[in-house]
Every structure is written in C-alpha cells, then in structure tokens.
Chains A and B, each alone.
Chain A
Amino acid sequence: MGLLDITDLTVEFPTRRRLFTAVDALNLKVNPGEIHGLVGESGAGKSTVGAAVMGLLDPPGRIAKGNIVFKNQLVDTSDGAVMHALRGRRISMIFQDPLTSLNPLLTIGDQLTETIRANLQVSASDADGRARELLDRVGIPDPDSRLNQYPHQFSGGMRQRVVIALALCSEPDVIIADEPTTALDVAIQAQILDLIRDVVDERKVGVILITHDMGVIANTTDRVTVMYRGKVVETGPTAKILSAPEHAYTQSLIAAVPRPHKKVHRFPRINYDGDDPDFAIEDLARDWPRYDNAPGKPLLSVRDLTKRFIEKRSLLPWGNRYFTAVDQLSFDIMPGEVLGLVGESGSGKSTVARMIAGLYKVDGGRVTFDGDLVSDLSNRKVQRAYRQEIQMIFQDPFSSLNPRMRVDQIVAEPLRHHRLLSGQDIPDRVGELLEQVGLGADARLKYPHEFSGGQRQRIAIARALATQPRFLICDEPTSALDVSIQAQILNILKDLQDHLGLTILFISHALPVVRQMCDRVAVMRRGQIVELADSEQLFTAPKHDYTKELLRLTPRTENMFEKPEA
C-alpha cells in the first residue's frame, strides 16, 4: 500500500449536451519520498485529478466513483469535516500561478502564520518562528523583513517559493503540485524543481507532479502516469516509460518533444489520433512570387533599436521613470534566413518583434527593409508596401483570431485591405489558402471557436500567407500549443521556409525549438543581445556565460525514446 492510493477514480462534469467524463477510471499510487509525474496534453484531465483528491472540484464536477485511500484509510471526499481535516493538514497543494495563488492584500507573514495556526496547535509567536524557518528553508533570503512584505513585492520565482513554504506549513504527507513551474522561466523552473526534490528527499513526502512538460517529467519524477482524454494510457518508472514507451500515444508524445541536443530535419510525428492534415506546400509554392535578392545584402536590418516604457508615472512628464526594454539593438537578417531570437520573459524579444512589425513606435534607432526605412511610421507609401511584405504569427491562436469574425472574413481581410484581388476572386483565393493549410474549403463559414488550437494556428498561417509576404515574424508561435500540435506547426513553418524562401524572425523562449528551426540565433538578456551566432555553433560551443547557463538549465531529454526520422 502506498501513501495515497487512488483506484478507479471517475470524475464527471455534466454539461448541457452530454455528460463529460474528465477522468475515467484512473488508478494512481504515490509512495512516501516519491515524485509521481502525471503527464498529458491539455484536456487530458490531469488537473482534475488533483482537484478531486483535494475535494476542490469546481461545480458541477463530481466524483462518480472510485476510492481514494490515504494512509490505509478510505477518504470520503463528500464529507466536509473529513476533507477539512485532511486538506492542508495531510495533503497540500501548489498551484500553477504563484501571483494569483497569494492573497494580494495580506503580508506573506500573515498568510504563513494563519496557515500554521489553522493546521497546527501552536502559539502566535511559535507560528511566527515557524514561518521564518519555512521561508529560510525554501531559500528566501532575509526572511525577517520578507515576512512583512506583500506578494507583489516578490519576484515570480520567490513567490512560488512562498507558495511552497505555505504548502509545507502543516508538514503534509502528500503535496499535489499542479504545473508548478509552467509560469516560470527556465532558470527559475530548475530551481523550483530542485527545491521540490529536496523537500521530498528530506521529509519523505509523496508528490503528485502534474505537468504537460516531458522535460520536467524526465528530470524530476520517479514514476510517471500518462493520461490521454481522461484515461491512463501507461504508468511506470519514469526512465522506463521515457526510453521504451509501450503505448502508441506515449510514443507519439515523446517523439514530438523537440530535442535540444541535436538538429533534425523535420519533427518526427506519430499519427495517433488521426489529426494530421496535409499541408499542400507544393500548391502554395506554384504561384508564389520569386524575389531577386541581392546576394550578401540583408533583407532586414536593425540598427541601434531602442524602446523605453514608462515604469512609474510622475506628476510631470519629465519626472517619469523609464524602463529600457530594448537597448540599442543591432542585427541583420539575410534573405531566406531564419533568425532565432531567444531569451527569458522580460528580455525584450517580443518588443523587438513589435517594433519591426511597426506595432510599437521606436524610441531610437532604425529598421530598414529591402533598403526602405520602415521604422518611420509616418511615411505612408513605404508603410503600405511594407505591410504587404511582412506578416506575423502570434503566440496564442485563441486570441490572434477575432472570435466574432468568420474564418473567410479573417483570411480575406488582408486581401481586401490591400486590394490585391477583385471582389469575386477573393472567396476563391480564401478557399485555396484554407485548402493549402489543410483545413478544407468548408472551414470558411465557421467561427474560430469551432476549431482546435492547431487548426486555429493554421488559420492564422493562412491569413499570414494571404498577401504572399517575403518576411514572417513568428512570436512564440507554439508555446501555447500542446507538444504534438507544436511539432505539426513547426513542420509547416519549415516547409514555408524551404519551399517559398521566406525569411523568418523566430522568437522563442524554448531553446530546443530554436535549435530545430533557426539558421542563426541571437540570445537576448535585459534588452541587449549577449550572443549572436550560427545555430549549431551556439548550441555546441556557446561563448557567453549567460548562454551557457541557459543551456545547462534546459531539461535533458537525451535518454528519451526516439522514433527514426520520417
């Protein structure tokens, strides 16, 4: 018997059309001192498992059947008193977003002591001392003064440490960590995972680590359970599952993970659920205009690009305090090249993209495209021509398509705006584009919400290709997508570059993805480029310390199962 035994757990959400079974007959066992990974793509039901165990299911969700046995005692999750005795005392939980997990109006100290006193019979001063110890334990320096601070005064990583401290208050036996590092940068992620590992080793607690990230699974967990659409497809020791997955789904999932240690031509994809549309790149390429690019001359050239944001507004405009997001940045992109721009959140990489795209006004420096100064937004003639030549693919396919517009309207908008085709030809062209990105012409009359994330990203690609641009900016195009969809979209982007000769600026925080996609890579930190090198060179022989650090912290996946390239 394990510490926590979940058998045959079934969670249902009755919706108006049907009964949705979020978790279907799940079995899961957690032992003391063990980190049990629960992995799956979005919608797999993995977070529901955590909520069900804690008795925190959102209505109308309910546990339809199944047993939860904690320390050999059957837990009745419907009994409030039982759950209250268990929740927080014996089983704690860590949520994804440390910012929203903490009450913004109470000090860290208040939140710690109230939790300690709610769960342990201790005096106020003992609780205070304990709170200090806990902060110290989770690696927060200067706990004395930190106790009196509010959550907004902590950085993201520090906040997640506070959350972990809170979860440890009652000395629980089991911690359920729901995507604890998803909102964090890679460096912080590694630290937090190390912290969890230490706590597990030290206190012999059992942890259920819920994540979508195979890298996290590979580096942190002892055992892993793979979920797909509410069902467990495979469970076992992490090393075994990763290196020799038995189930086809697990295989496809693992195969799709971008590898940081070597470059592949195309992402291996295993067609598990049949959602693998054709991308008719040859059709697209047939009509694609060919540009004569002067050899050796960059298509896009960025010089001393600078952007400042007001950090704190003062009473008078000249008293404002500014924050320099992009600091005198310079680089070139050659025709047909894919340049990667990589960095942690806040490094300024998206700001660069938006300045190049003309969405932000530049505060200094210049951007030239094919010899034209395009950073001057007032030159309407240049701007008009430039807008046809560049396009952008955004991070979130759920927000990059207007939910109130039909797909044909979305794709046709650039055509209509630039008057590239006459009225009657537009629907035909839209149909063609949708066919070419593998959606079929009947997608035209639907609305974006009727599509899955991958399909939506393909609609966004169809829109981007409508004006037949020469230059494409991809701003984290796959970071909101599941790993299998990510592979699909990345393959499409590769095709576009290969067959159409598109020049691409590829922005990402994920080093493995960048390695697969880019010819050259620029590493950004605090608004500046610390290193710009050929992709292979950067990954194999980084020069700058920061680059080395980033590479070191990236989860290792060398020992993962590999499907030969298709």
Chain B
Amino acid sequence: MVTYIFRRILQSILVLLVVGLVAFAMFTFIGDPIDNMLGQERTQEDIDRLRGVLGLDQPFVVQYVKFVISAMQGNFGVSYEQGRPVAQILAERAPATLELAAVSALFALSLGVVLGVYTAIHRKGFVANLVLTLSLIGVSLPTFLIGILLIYLFSVQLDWLPSFGRGETVDLGGWTTGFLTSSGMRALILPSITLGLYQMTLIMRLVRSEMMEVMRQDYIRFARARGLSERAITFRHALKNTMVPVITVTGLQLGSLIAFAIITETVFQWPGMGLLFINAIKFVDIPVMAAYLMLISVMFVGINLIVDLLYVSIDPRLRT
C-alpha cells in the first residue's frame, strides 16, 4: 500500500512538472518578459543586460529548473495588467473561489448521491423519472444560462437573494470568508447552485447507473437469497460498492469545479480566481494565466491523491 501511495505521489509530481513545462513555455515563448518590462524605447544593450539579469541567456533546461524552483516558492512573477506579484493577487482571490467550490461540491455531492440512490431504487417511479428528465435538461442547459435565469428569478423577480458578489466578508488573517456573515452566506447560494448543478447531475446519474450495475451483481442476488432486508442490501451492500467508481469520477469532477468556476464567477461577478483568469485572458496577462494553470493542477492533483487514499480506505483489496 505504501508503494501504491508513493507511486501515486511520484506520478502527481510528474504531472505537475509537465504542467509546469506548459506554463513555462507560455512564459518563454509567448509573453516575452523583455517586451513587457522594457517598453518601447529600449536599446539592444538594455535587452542584453536584462536577458543576463533574468537568466534568459541560459539554456532552456536551466531556465526551466529555475522556474520550477521559484514556482515552488510561490513566485510567479508580476502581473502585466496589475503590476503586482501574481502570487499576491491569487492569494487574495483564492478564498472566494475555494469557498464557492467547496459549497458547490458539498451541494453536488450530497444531493447527487441522495438523488442517485433514490432514482436507482425507484427505477420505474414517477418522481425518479421526473428527476432524471429534469437532470438531463440540467446538463443540456449551459451553466451561464442557468446562472442568468437564477438571477432573473431569485434576485430580480423575487428579490430573495443577492445577484452578484460575495456579500460581506470577514478577513481572517489573509483569508476572507463569506461564511461568517448572513449576507455572505446568502450570496453563496445562487452561485453554488449554478456551479454545482451540472456536477450534481453527473454524480446523480453516475451513482444511479453504478448502483443499478451493482444491484445486478451476484453478491446482491446472494444477499437477497440470504434473506437480508432491502434496506440492508441497498445501503450496506450496494451503496458502498457503488462508492468506489463514484469516488474516482467525483474527484475529477470536483477538480474541474474550480476551473468551471470561471463561468459562474463571470455571471455572478464573483471575485475569485476565475474572474481574474478570464480578465487575464482578455488582457493576455501571461504570468497570471501561467500561475492559475499551475494552481489548478496542484489542486487537481491534490484532490486526486485524496481520492486515491479514500479508495484504499474503502476497498480492502487495495490494502494488501
């Protein structure tokens, strides 16, 4: 098992190095830092001097290693757009996105599993089929449209919930949280539904199909034949076995939540990293793009590591 986890960690590091390479290549080949740092009136001497200072005259590999080292120290350079260290900007923005993603994930996961189990058990029921049909409509509607409709309905027409932003936040030593104020909590509702709805649907459908798959297994038939109650069969036997594949996919889904937050943040003017990123795209702010890229993959890789560990804890076959 230690080997397994160690192997996964090694693989994760490898993945990060590759992503780092992509980010670094973006830096080097697209956003020429010299161009951005020297402005229009530059001489060849200036360029050569700065190349030396920045180490750009060194071989690619050396530069890459330096990039990786400084990235590990959280140093991603200075935003072209804002003229501030990218790490600092990201640190400001991260709490908003992470809180949104966390709430969405919780929403998607809890409702997804519950509805998935429900629809799998009541396969022919009216409510289950209604939920399924609605869920397909849910995945067929783009996120941004759902966001707009939610705003129109709940903010504009009904005036129940705020239409944009995080509401009031409380600063806990560099981490701004919306969890501690009622306006912050209210502001979270619509964006997290918007962001989580799609993942919720996916998880629900996955749980349902895996559950139905598991329900066809011999050990479920055997459990029935042993006289166990339907409750025990559903929750003790079927659900646990369903969780193994569900966890993998859910891990991937939650990882992509952070990236998909770009859309939600745009619609709701949510002051997170996604909004930052889309602005970076518009202004071709390469350092911000590269850093965001790295950050997303670190989170993604981290989530996948956790998923692997969860796997081990659920499936005894992996423990030997």
Query: Does B232 interact with chain A (Cβ within 8 Å)?
Result: yes
Query: Does A12 interact with chain B (Cβ within 8 Å)?
Result: no
Query: Does B103 interact with chain A (Cβ within 8 Å)?
Result: no
Q: Which residue of A lies closest to B3 (CB)?
A: A315
Known: A87-B225, A103-B237, A105-B240. A95 touches B3 (CB 8 A): no
Query: Does A169 interact with chain B (Cβ within 8 Å)?
Result: yes
**In chain B, residues 215-265, which have Cβ atoms closer than 8 Å to a Cβ of chain A?**
217-219, 221-229, 232, 236-237, 240-241, 244
Which chain B residues border A115 with CB–CB below 8 Å?
226-228
Contact (Cβ within 8 A) B227 A95: no
Bound CA–CA A106/B244 (angstroms): 13
- B1-26 CB mask vs A (1 if < 8 Å, else 0) is 00100110010000000000000000
Chain A: minimal CB distance from B218 (Å): 4
Known: A104-B317, A119-B227, A152-B316. A315 touches B237 (CB 8 A): no
Contact (Cβ within 8 A) B222 A105: no
Which chain B residues border A56 with CB–CB below 8 Å?
221, 224-225
Query: Does A170 interact with chain B (Cβ within 8 Å)?
Result: yes
Chain B: minimal CB distance from A51 (Å): 8
Query: Does B57 interact with chain A (Cβ within 8 Å)?
Result: no
Query: Does B312 interact with chain A (Cβ within 8 Å)?
Result: no
Contact (Cβ within 8 A) A88 B226: yes
One of A97, A170, A313 near B227 (C-beta < 8 A): A170
Which chain A residues border B232 with CB–CB below 8 Å?
114, 118
**In chain B, residues 106-164, which have Cβ atoms closer than 8 Å to a Cβ of chain A?**
none
Chain A: minimal CB distance from B223 (Å): 7
Contact (Cβ within 8 A) A93 B222: yes
Query: Does A167 interact with chain B (Cβ within 8 Å)?
Result: yes
Which chain B residues border A92 with CB–CB below 8 Å?
225-226
Query: Does B189 interact with chain A (Cβ within 8 Å)?
Result: no
**In chain A, residues 218-251, which have Cβ atoms closer than 8 Å to a Cβ of chain B?**
none
Chain B: minimal CB distance from A553 (Å): 26
Query: Does B315 interact with chain A (Cβ within 8 Å)?
Result: yes
Chain A: minimal CB distance from B235 (Å): 12
Bound CA–CA A56/B10 (angstroms): 48
Chain A: minimal CB distance from B249 (Å): 18
Query: Does A54 interact with chain B (Cβ within 8 Å)?
Result: yes
Contact (Cβ within 8 A) A118 B221: no
Query: Does B89 interact with chain A (Cβ within 8 Å)?
Result: no
Bound CA–CA A102/B219 (angstroms): 5
Query: Does B305 interact with chain A (Cβ within 8 Å)?
Result: no
Which chain A residues border B315 with CB–CB below 8 Å?
104-105
Contact (Cβ within 8 A) B225 A105: no
- A143-168 CB mask vs B (1 if < 8 Å, else 0) is 00000001011000000000100110
Bound CA–CA A399/B171 (angstroms): 64
Query: Does B314 interact with chain A (Cβ within 8 Å)?
Result: yes
Contact (Cβ within 8 A) A88 B225: yes
Contact (Cβ within 8 A) A105 B218: no
Bound CA–CA A163/B223 (angstroms): 11
Bound CA–CA A314/B6 (angstroms): 10
Which chain B residues border A87 with CB–CB below 8 Å?
224-225, 227
Which chain B residues border A119 with CB–CB below 8 Å?
226-227
Chain B: minimal CB distance from A102 (Å): 6
Which chain A residues border B226 with CB–CB below 8 Å?
88, 92, 115, 118-119, 166-167, 169-170
Bound CA–CA A103/B224 (angstroms): 12
Contact (Cβ within 8 A) B229 A118: yes
Quick one: which of B7, B219, B315, B320 has the most chain A CB within 10 A? B219
One of A93, A114, A163 near B236 (C-beta < 8 A): A114
- A168-180 CB mask vs B (1 if < 8 Å, else 0) is 0110000000000
Bound CA–CA A148/B161 (angstroms): 53
**In chain A, residues 327-376, which have Cβ atoms closer than 8 Å to a Cβ of chain B?**
none
Contact (Cβ within 8 A) B6 A88: no
Chain B: minimal CB distance from A421 (Å): 47
Bound CA–CA A42/B165 (angstroms): 66
Query: Does A525 interact with chain B (Cβ within 8 Å)?
Result: no
One of B7, B10, B241 near A104 (C-beta < 8 A): B241
Contact (Cβ within 8 A) A105 B316: yes
Which chain A residues border B224 with CB–CB below 8 Å?
54, 56, 87-88
Known: A97-B218, A315-B7. A104 touches B316 (CB 8 A): yes
Contact (Cβ within 8 A) A114 B7: no
Contact (Cβ within 8 A) B222 A163: yes
Query: Does A89 interact with chain B (Cβ within 8 Å)?
Result: yes
- B297-313 CB mask vs A (1 if < 8 Å, else 0) is 00000000000000000
Known: A95-B218, A163-B222. A89 touches B227 (CB 8 A): yes
Bound CA–CA A145/B316 (angstroms): 16
Contact (Cβ within 8 A) A95 B317: no
Bound CA–CA A166/B226 (angstroms): 7
Chain B: minimal CB distance from A313 (Å): 8
Which chain B residues border A313 with CB–CB below 8 Å?
3
Query: Does A84 interact with chain B (Cβ within 8 Å)?
Result: yes
Query: Does A100 interact with chain B (Cβ within 8 Å)?
Result: yes
Contact (Cβ within 8 A) A114 B240: no
Q: Which residue of A lies closest to B316 (CB)?
A: A150
Which chain A residues border B222 with CB–CB below 8 Å?
93, 95, 101-102, 163, 166
- A56-97 CB mask vs B (1 if < 8 Å, else 0) is 100000000000000000000000000010011100110101
20 contacts between A and B (CB under 8 A): A54-B224, A56-B224, A84-B227, A89-B227, A93-B225, A95-B222, A97-B218, A101-B218, A103-B223, A103-B240, A106-B237, A118-B232, A150-B316, A150-B317, A152-B320, A166-B222, A167-B226, A170-B226, A313-B3, A315-B3
Beyond the given A101-B219, A104-B316, A105-B315, could you list 4 further A-B residue pairs with CB under 8 A, ordered by the A residue number?
Answer: A95-B221, A105-B240, A106-B240, A153-B320
- Residues of chain B touching chain A, judged by Cβ–Cβ distance below 8 Å, are 3, 6-7, 10, 217-219, 221-229, 232, 236-237, 240-241, 244, 314-317, 320
Q: Can you list the 10 inter-chain pairs with the closest CB atoms, starting with the nearest?
A: A88-B227, A93-B225, A100-B218, A150-B316, A101-B222, A88-B226, A115-B226, A103-B219, A152-B317, A119-B227
- Residues of chain A touching chain B, judged by Cβ–Cβ distance below 8 Å, are 54, 56, 84, 87-89, 92-93, 95, 97, 100-107, 114-115, 118-119, 150, 152-153, 163, 166-167, 169-170, 313-315
